[in-house]
């Protein structure tokens, strides 16, 4: 399986704070059956961001340490971008990383952002030739209020990601009900961990997969957890 959204790249955002925590998270991910990860440190307006050279160095450090620990996970770099006006320009300039160097971009918004703002921002990215993935769609109040909006977003050509902790219920009943509704209507493209630590927000897929397996079957699980994410890495259309 592949995890396309997590905060394991230590010391770069509010996720893993040190190398040791990053490695513990990778160990958990490996035991869950995850074999490829796109590291997605936050990129937000008016925040200080480490240079890409630092991100690449830390990613290489994780790779080197994994070898000595017997963990075989392929690592790729991306960002989780909190949308602001200069995002397309900063993507083009290489300050913001697309997902594993592909056309895919992982985009988030504030929970109370307007639907019209979310839609027009995503549309703007599409028209620049990017393939936007809306991060954890269940977090946005405007989506929860009107479940049909997920279909509208998808029909626009936007990809939809939900968090495994929302599907398995560990992030609360509201998120669980909404994400399961989306899954049962085949409206999502990706499940990811959005892991930040080794406890409450660890990279775990087990219970989420169990649910998807029983409700949607093995082929569905394979498509969402493996086939679709690998298409990001090879820069193909999902």
- Which residues of the shown chain bind Fe ion in the complex (CB under 5 A)? 80, 194
Q: Which residue lies nearer to Fe ion by CB, 80 or 180?
A: 80
- CB of residue 153 to Fe ion, shortest distance in Å: 18
Q: What does residue 41 show for φ and ψ, rounded to 5 degrees?
A: -60, 150
- CB of residue 14 to Fe ion, shortest distance in Å: 9
Pairing of strands 104-108, 131-134: parallel
Q: What is the DSSP letter of 29?
A: H
Q: Which residue lies nearer to Fe ion by CB, 138 or 194?
A: 194
The residues, any chain, with a CB within 8 Å of residue 84's CB and separated by 6 or more, are 44, 45
- CB of residue 70 to Fe ion, shortest distance in Å: 28
- CB of residue 35 to Fe ion, shortest distance in Å: 20
Q: Which residue lies nearer to Fe ion by CB, 3 or 80?
A: 80
Euclidean distance between CA atoms 63 and 132, whole angstroms: 27
Euclidean distance between CA atoms 153 and 47, whole angstroms: 28
Q: Which residue lies nearer to Fe ion by CB, 68 or 104?
A: 104
b/e for 69-107, b at 16 or more Cβ within 10 A? eebebebbbbbbbbbeeebbebbeeeebbbbbebbbbbb
- CB of residue 121 to Fe ion, shortest distance in Å: 17
- CB of residue 214 to Fe ion, shortest distance in Å: 27
* Token pair of 47 as six digits: 């925040």
Euclidean distance between CA atoms 3 and 36, whole angstroms: 6
Q: Which residue is nearest to Fe ion (CB)?
A: 194
Q: Which residue lies nearer to Fe ion by CB, 44 or 149?
A: 44
Q: Which residue lies nearer to Fe ion by CB, 172 or 217?
A: 172
Q: Which residue has the tokens 């279909």?
A: 151
């Amino acid at each position: 399986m592949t995890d396309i959204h997590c905060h394991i790249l230590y010391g770069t955002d509010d996720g893993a704070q040190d190398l040791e925590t990053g490695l513990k998270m990778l160990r958990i991910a490996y035991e869950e059956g995850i074999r490829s990860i796109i590291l997605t440190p936050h990129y937000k307006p008016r925040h200080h961001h480490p240079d890409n050279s630092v991100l690449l160095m830390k990613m290489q450090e994780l790779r080197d340490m994994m070898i000595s620990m017997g963990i075989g996970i392929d690592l790729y770099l991306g960002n989780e971008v909190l949308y602001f006006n200069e995002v397309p320009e900063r993507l083009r300039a290489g300050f913001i990383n697309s997902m594993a160097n592909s056309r895919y971009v992982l985009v988030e918004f504030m929970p109370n952002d307007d639907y019209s703002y979310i839609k027009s921002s995503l549309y703007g990215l599409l028209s620049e030739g990017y393939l936007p993935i809306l991060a954890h769609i269940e977090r946005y109040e405007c989506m929860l209020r009107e479940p049909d909006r997920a279909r509208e977003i998808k029909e626009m050509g936007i990809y939809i990601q939900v968090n495994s902790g929302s599907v398995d219920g560990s992030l609360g009943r509201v998120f669980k009900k909404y994400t399961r509704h989306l899954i049962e209507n085949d409206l999502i493209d990706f499940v990811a961990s959005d892991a930040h630590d080794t406890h409450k927000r660890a990279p775990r897929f087990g219970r989420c997969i169990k649910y998807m397996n029983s409700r949607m079957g093995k082929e569905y699980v394979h498509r969402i957890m493996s086939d679709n994410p690998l298409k990001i890495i090879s820069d193909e259309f999902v």
